[in-house]
């Protein structure tokens, strides 16, 4: 009977908390137990967005929202029909956590503190009587006949698995032992290392509108690029790493990127812009009159890379120098040799195979009574609040125990 329902949620992150809260809401008489193997809850929420917590993204169309997931977008599109970004906003704001939207669509608590989000989730768990067990790793999970499970020797009727992404396949072996297929995990959302490249001298510079292409592939992304002391980061690079996660892993993170630093694809348009500059600013030094929206320091770097003298005046720029400058602007090539995890926000490509999960309910097709939520699935999004949105959505659906 409903009053006797006992639910285990494995994982005290965003997806696990939301699944526990959903289970408590949809099954008010149930006893919900949240297992967290470490001594801390919601640790990823704490550090995300530089400690501000990028709760979700201001994209309130399920079909458009689903396009930000290199893996799982098709499945999430259906799930977003039940609980999407606007539902996340309404859920938090109805509980006193007001959110704000930044220029790029990312949404944060107006307090600019992830602790606001953590406090809200913990408060809700207390209010619903959810039992939270810290430092409680799962040692054993065994299906019972005709239904139910034993977890660490204790009987439960339903189990929600929200353990997050695993850096190695061995971390998911216990789910394979239950009969599930697992897509081998590889990193997603990482930055490009360029050891020895002189561009790293410009660490901290942001180029606002670039197009980055991985040579020899169809992978290309637009957006800002951040120069770091190890290579390149920023939205364009992080999106590339997500969409190319498997292919780049197969290349052992050794490849070349071709960068269009101004985001203008048509070479004729670039030539026309430079020709106008050569006419309008003919007596000005090339270094002091950049025709494009580039940081001054970066423009000086590109001039040097194109062998254009910084103190040359525009009127004296010859055809050969102009062509080399255009080529540097549009087709600058750098060798990548390795990766660095984006901040401390570990995201994996890989996990429980999506065909083995019914996304309307998040129930396993292999072991009835087990539900999945969050990054333990072979689902991952690009940077910008999309991974948290997948966690809230799948957690909400899993917790219904439908």
Predicted local confidence at residue 282, as pLDDT: 87
Predicted local confidence at residue 241, as pLDDT: 96
The residue from 341, 357, 377 where one domain ends is 341
Based on the fold, state whether residues 28 and 160 are members of the same structural domain.
Answer: yes
The residue from 341, 358, 385 where one domain ends is 341
What CATH number has the domain bearing residue 57? 3.50.50.60
State the pLDDT confidence band at 345, using cuts at 50, 70 and 90: low
Q: Output the pTM of the full model.
A: 0.92
pLDDT digits (tens, 9 = 90+) for 237-269: 999 999 999 999 999 999 999 999 999 999 999
State the pLDDT confidence band at 83, using cuts at 50, 70 and 90: very high
State the pLDDT confidence band at 74, using cuts at 50, 70 and 90: very high
Mean pLDDT value across residues 383-389:
96
Based on the fold, state whether residues 94 and 235 are members of the same structural domain.
Answer: no
Provide the percentage of residues in the chain whose pLDDT is more than 90.
Answer: 94
Predicted local confidence at residue 343, as pLDDT: 56
pLDDT at 344 over 90: no
- Maximal C-alpha separation, the chain: 87
State the pLDDT confidence band at 196, using cuts at 50, 70 and 90: very high
Based on the fold, state whether residues 199 and 167 are members of the same structural domain.
Answer: no
Based on the fold, state whether residues 129 and 179 are members of the same structural domain.
Answer: yes
Mean pLDDT value across residues 98-119:
98
pLDDT digits (tens, 9 = 90+) for 129-142: 999 999 999 999 99
* CA 210/CA 207 separation, integer angstroms: 7
The residue from 301, 318, 341 where one domain ends is 341
Based on the fold, state whether residues 124 and 16 are members of the same structural domain.
Answer: yes
Based on the fold, state whether residues 115 and 231 are members of the same structural domain.
Answer: no
Based on the fold, state whether residues 128 and 214 are members of the same structural domain.
Answer: no
Based on the fold, state whether residues 259 and 382 are members of the same structural domain.
Answer: no
State the pLDDT confidence band at 126, using cuts at 50, 70 and 90: very high
Predicted local confidence at residue 2, as pLDDT: 45
Based on the fold, state whether residues 49 and 170 are members of the same structural domain.
Answer: yes
Based on the fold, state whether residues 306 and 195 are members of the same structural domain.
Answer: yes
Domain assignment of residue 40, given as a range: 2-186+344-399
Report yes or no: 373 and 16 within 8 Å, Cβ to Cβ: yes
Non-local CB neighbours of 113 within 8 Å, separated by 6+ positions: 51, 52, 53
Based on the fold, state whether residues 379 and 318 are members of the same structural domain.
Answer: no
pLDDT digits (tens, 9 = 90+) for 285-314: 999 999 999 999 999 999 999 999 989 999
pLDDT at 3 over 70: no
Structurally, the chain folds into a number of domains equal to 2
Mean pLDDT value across residues 337-354:
84
Based on the fold, state whether residues 148 and 222 are members of the same structural domain.
Answer: no
pLDDT digits (tens, 9 = 90+) for 146-172: 999 999 999 999 999 999 999 899 999
Mean pLDDT value across residues 270-291:
92
């Amino acid at each position: 009977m409903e009053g006797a329902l006992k639910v285990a949620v494995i994982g005290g992150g965003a997806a696990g908390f939301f699944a526990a809260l959903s289970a408590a809401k949809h099954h008010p008489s149930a006893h919900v137990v949240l297992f967290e193997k470490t001594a801390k809850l919601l640790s990823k929420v704490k550090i995300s967005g530089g400690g501000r917590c990028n709760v979700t993204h201001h994209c309130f169309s399920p079909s458009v929202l689903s396009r930000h997931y290199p893996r799982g977008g098709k499945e999430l599109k259906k799930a977003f029909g039940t609980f999407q970004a606007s539902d996340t906003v309404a859920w938090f704001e109805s509980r006193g956590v007001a959110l704000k939207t930044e220029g790029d669509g990312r949404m944060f608590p107006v307090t600019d503190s992830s602790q606001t989000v953590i406090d809200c989730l913990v408060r809700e768990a207390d209010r619903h009587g959810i039992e939270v067990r810290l430092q409680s790793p799962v040692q054993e999970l065994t299906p019972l006949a005709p239904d139910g499970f034993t977890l660490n020797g204790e009987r439960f009727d339903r189990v929600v698995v929200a353990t997050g992404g695993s850096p190695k396949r061995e971390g998911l072996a216990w789910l394979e032992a239950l009969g599930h297929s697992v897509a081998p995990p590889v990193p997603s959302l990482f930055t490009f290392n360029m050891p020895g490249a002189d561009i790293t001298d410009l660490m901290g510079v942001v180029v606002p509108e670039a197009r980055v292409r991985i040579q020899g592939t169809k992978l290309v992304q637009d957006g800002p690029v951040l120069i770091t002391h190890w290579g390149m980061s920023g939205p364009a690079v992080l999106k590339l790493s997500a969409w190319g996660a498997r292919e780049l892993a197969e290349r052992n993170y050794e490849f070349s990127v071709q960068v269009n630093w101004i985001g203008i694809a048509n070479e004729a348009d670039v030539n026309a812009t430079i020709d106008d500059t050569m006419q309008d600013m003919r007596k000005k030094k090339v270094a002091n009159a950049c025709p494009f929206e580039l940081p001054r320091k970066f423009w000086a770097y590109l001039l040097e890379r194109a062998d254009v003298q910084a103190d040359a005046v525009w009127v004296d720029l010859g055809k050969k120098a102009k062509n080399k400058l255009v080529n540097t602007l549009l087709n600058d090539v750098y060798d990548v040799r390795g990766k660095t995890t984006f901040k401390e926000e570990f995201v994996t490509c890989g996990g429980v195979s999506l065909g083995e999960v019914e996304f309307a309910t998040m129930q396993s097709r292999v072991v009835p009574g087990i539900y999945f939520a969050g990054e333990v699935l072979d689902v991952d999004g690009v940077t910008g609040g999309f991974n948290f949105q997948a966690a809230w959505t799948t957690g909400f659906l899993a917790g219904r125990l439908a």
